[in-house]
Structure formats: structure tokens, C-alpha cells
Amino acid sequence: MKPTHLQFTIKKNTLYTLLILLAFLLSTAADIWAGSMGHGRRNNSRAFQGHHGQGFLGKGICPQIRKTVQAPANIFSQRNPLKKDREVLYAGESLFQIEAQPTACKICHGVTGNGLGIMAQGLNPPPRNFTCRSTMETISDGQLFWIIRNGSPGTGMPAFKNLKDKEIWQIVHYLRKFSKQKH
Ligand code: HEC
């Protein structure tokens, strides 16, 4: 073999190696750019984390016409007694999204809290849109607590009698988050 030929072979191999490396780097960059694969979808948004369409996207109705019965004065004026921290919010989130019985809140109120859950269609009045700041500002902590515990008679909002007081207050902290986030 002539030295020149050998030189060319090395160069060609190096070139191939570099090309493969470049392709790898580009695909990695594209992966990072596209976002992580959560639940088989490339999207980081929480809205996509609901299984099988349990979270409909959109802003929801805002402001919302609200005819919900008002809690008794002494409960209406109550403020959330729990200190808001990560654990409280996490517990509230778990109840809202998964654990609350008979039905997790997200089924009606939506994974993003926009009131457009999978069971929201056909409900009149519609589920509360917790992302709607102008409406949520008019509803006190005690009122939220009262309706979660007792439901809203004559509407789709069920009573959650088996939730402990503490659990309801955890949910209330979590609900407040929806109208503080940017969408
Ligand atoms: C089967 C559907 C459904 C489920 C499940 C559901 N909701 Fe509702 N929710 C509604 C509807 C419908 C309304 C509107 C009622 C009304 O306008 O009076 C509502 C209203 C509310 C309100 C508004 C109270 C007010 O004074 O405006 C709160 C708070 C609430 N829901 C919290 C929850 C929480 C927390 C859960 C889970 C623990 C939950 N909901 C589960 C359907 C549902």
C-alpha cells in the first residue's frame, strides 16, 4: 500500500466518524429542543399529562356567571388555616387530580383547572373555571371549603363528605394556584 493511499483511508474514516458524531449531536439537540417525552408526547405542559383527554385545553369561560349558594356567614369569612407550603400543595394536587372520591376534581374541572374536564360537557351550570381570576377573587376560602364539603345542590358539583377538613384546605390552596399561573 502506498503511503498516500493509507493517508486517504484514515482521512475518510475520520470524516465518517465526524459525520456520525455530528448527526448524533444534531439529533440530541433536536430532542432537547422538542422537550421531554412525558406520557409519550413531546410536551412539558401539565395539560398534556391527563390520560386520555381528561384535560381539554383552552382558557375556559371567564368571567363566569355564578349562582352558587353562599356558605353561612361564619364559614364564608373563614381563611385557609393551613400554611401554604410545597407539601400542602402537593397533597392538594394529588387529591384534585387523582385521589378524591367518588370522582377526582379534574374530571369536571380539568387538569389545568379551566373547567373543561372530560365530564364538563353537558353540565349546566358548568364547572367552575379556577383559572379565571376575576371570578375566583370574589370567592372566599370558606366558600370554596363549604361547596367542596357539601356540593352545590341541583348542579353537577357533588359533595365530598369523606374528605377530611385538612384535605379540603389542602385542595383550596391548590385551587388558588390556578388563578395565579400564567396560561
Ligand atoms: C361531576 C363533576 C364535578 C366534580 C367531580 C367536581 N366538581 Fe366542582 N363543580 C362542578 C360544577 C358543575 C360546579 C358549578 C356549580 C355551581 O355553579 O353552583 C362546580 C363548582 C365548584 C366550586 C365552586 C364553588 C363556588 O362557590 O363557586 C368549587 C370550589 C369546586 N367545584 C371544587 C371542586 C373540587 C375541589 C372537586 C374535587 C374534590 C370538585 N369540585 C369536583 C362539577 C364538579
Q: Reply yes or no on domain 46-178 having CATH 1.10.760.10.
A: yes
Locate cell 377573587: which residue?
137
Lowest mean pLDDT among 27-36, 138-147, 168-177: 27-36
Q: How many CA atoms lie within 13 A of 53 on its CB side?
A: 4
Q: Which residues pair with 37 in a beta bridge?
A: 42
Res 1: pLDDT: 54
Res 58: pLDDT: 83
56 vs 144 pLDDT, higher one: 144
- Nearest-atom index, ligand 1, CA of 107: 5
Domain boundaries, the chain: 3-34, 46-178
Do residues 151 and 85 touch, judged by C-beta distance below 8 A? no
Pocket of ligand 1 (CB under 6 A): 66, 68, 100, 103, 105, 107-109, 119, 123, 125, 127-128, 139, 143-144, 147-148, 152, 155-158, 160, 171
User: Phi/psi of residue 37, each to 5°?
Assistant: -95, 85
Please give the Cα distance from 27 to 21 (Å, whole number).
10
76 vs 58 pLDDT, higher one: 76
Average pLDDT, the chain: 87
Nearest CA to ligand 1 atom 6: 105
Probe target for ligand 1 pocket from 121, 132, 147, with the most ligand atoms within 8 Å of CB: 147
Please give the Cα distance from 129 to 20 (Å, whole number).
51
Residue 52 has pLDDT above 50, yes or no: no
Nearest CA to ligand 1 atom 21: 128
Res 57: pLDDT: 75
Instruction: Tell me the pTM.
Output: 0.76
User: Phi/psi of residue 120, each to 5°?
Assistant: -70, -30
Q: What is the pLDDT of residues 151-160, one digit of tens each?
A: 999 999 999 9
Q: What is the pLDDT of residues 85-137, one digit of tens each?
A: 999 999 999 999 999 999 999 999 999 999 999 999 889 999 999 999 999 99
| Residues near 59 by beta carbon (within 8 Å), at least 6 away in sequence | 114, 131, 183
Residue among 110, 138, 137, 108 at smallest CA distance from 124: 108
- Nearest-atom index, ligand 1, CA of 100: 38
Probe target for ligand 1 pocket from 96, 157, 169, with the most ligand atoms within 8 Å of CB: 157
Res 45: pLDDT: 46
Mean pLDDT on 27-41: 68
Would you place residue 51 in the very low, low, confident or very high pLDDT band (cuts 50, 70, 90)? very low
User: Phi/psi of residue 42, each to 5°?
Assistant: -85, 80
